[in-house]
């Protein structure tokens, strides 16, 4: 505990996420540097075989380019009409080399394929195979600053979520562009969605628009769900 205590010090006095009853919220106060030393101890979520792949409902937004939606995005609709060739994912905030990645850029980076169980807070679960680039690889490209503690994800339907560095650097946290061997379908978050396998489904942001690395917790408001729900 001595060394953990020392790692926690840099976060003291900083704004941390609302706890909503959680007690083991150590990760919130840790910096990128501290997390790197803790990484080897990370536990993987269970992975399954192709035979376990199930039907997979689409929930929440299923097409941000639908003009009848309150959250309609004209920009998204345009990207969709050109098969996402003009889509770019900016990664900014507390990074040394902010930049934007095209779908081709992301596909050119090392990939990971995993068959995992998605657990929705509404009580259903489903198994699928996901392929994408580990978020850790992308973060390495842009060079996360040592003081960074959170990664914030913004989507074309106005959806947003954040995770701490421990989840961001986790080997199964990927930016997925393939589902069950095919291009990520529209209803499941095309062209790229986040997969955070050790947390409940709502952290797996679909329709990624922008990623922002931050030192401070960004309060995205009370969604009615806990900020952290490990599984
Ligand atoms: N952009 C965006 N991401 C989102 C959502 C959403 O409505 N919009 N819903 C979340 C919830 S609650 C779940 S359970 C999963 C659903 O993913 P699916 O539609 O592929 O099943 O996406 C999550 N990510
Ligand atoms: Mo969900």
Atom in ligand 1 nearest the alpha carbon of residue 207: 1
Ligand with the closest atom to the CA of 203 = 1
Question: What is the distance in A from the centroid of ligand 1 to the CA of 61?
Answer: 7
Within a 13 Å sphere around the CA of 227, how many CA atoms are in the beta-carbon half? 25
Q: What pLDDT, on the 0 to 100 scale, is given for residue 42?
A: 80
Measure the CA–CA gap between 104 and 124, rounded to whole angstroms. 33
Q: Please state whether 83 falls in left (phi above 0), alpha (psi between -120 and 50) or beta.
A: left
Question: What is the distance in A from the centroid of ligand 2 to the CA of 125?
Answer: 9
Ligand 1 interacting residues, C-beta cut-off 6 A: 56-61, 120, 155, 157, 159, 188, 201-202, 204-207
Ligand with the closest atom to the CA of 207 = 1
Can you read off the two tokens belonging to residue 44?
A: 């993987």
Ligand with the closest atom to the CA of 59 = 1
Averages of pLDDT over runs of 10 residues in the chain (231 residues) are 41 51 55 68 91 97 97 97 97 98 98 97 95 98 95 97 93 98 98 96 97 91 69 70
Atom in ligand 1 nearest the alpha carbon of residue 188: 20
Question: What is the distance in A from the centroid of ligand 2 to the CA of 5?
Answer: 35
Nearest CA to ligand 1 atom 24: 205
**Beta-strand (E) ranges in the chain?**
88-93, 99-102, 112-119, 125-134, 150-155, 160-164, 174-179, 182-183, 193-195, 208-214
Mutate to test the pocket of ligand 1, among 70, 192, 194, 204 (most ligand atoms within 8 A of CB): 204
Can you read off the two tokens belonging to residue 52?
A: 């376990």
């Amino acid at each position: 505990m001595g060394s953990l205590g020392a790692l926690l010090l840099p976060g003291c006095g900083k704004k941390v996420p609302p706890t909503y009853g959680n007690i083991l919220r150590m990760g919130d106060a840790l910096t990128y540097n501290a997390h790197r030393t803790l990484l080897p101890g990370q536990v993987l979520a269970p992975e399954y075989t192709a035979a376990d792949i199930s039907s997979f409902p689409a929930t929440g937004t299923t097409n941000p380019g639908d003009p009848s939606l309150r959250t309609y995005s004209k920009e998204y609709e345009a990207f969709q009409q050109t098969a996402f060739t003009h889509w770019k994912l900016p990664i900014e905030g507390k990074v040394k080399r902010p930049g934007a990645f095209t779908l081709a850029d992301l596909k050119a980076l090392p990939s990971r394929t995993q068959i995992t169980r998605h657990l929705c807070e509404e009580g259903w679960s489903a198994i699928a195979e996901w392929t994408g680039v580990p978020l850790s690889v992308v973060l390495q490209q842009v060079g996360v600053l040592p003081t960074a503690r959170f990664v914030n994800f913004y989507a074309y339907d106005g959806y947003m979520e954040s995770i701490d560095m421990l989840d961001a650097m986790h080997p199964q946290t990927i930016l997925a562009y393939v589902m069950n061997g095919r291009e990520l379908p529209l209803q499941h978050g095309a062209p790229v969605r986040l997969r955070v396998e050790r947390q409940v489904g709502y952290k797996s942001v679909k329709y990624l628009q922008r990623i922002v690395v931050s030192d401070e917790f960004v309060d995205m408001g009370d969604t009615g769900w806990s900020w952290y729900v490990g599984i």
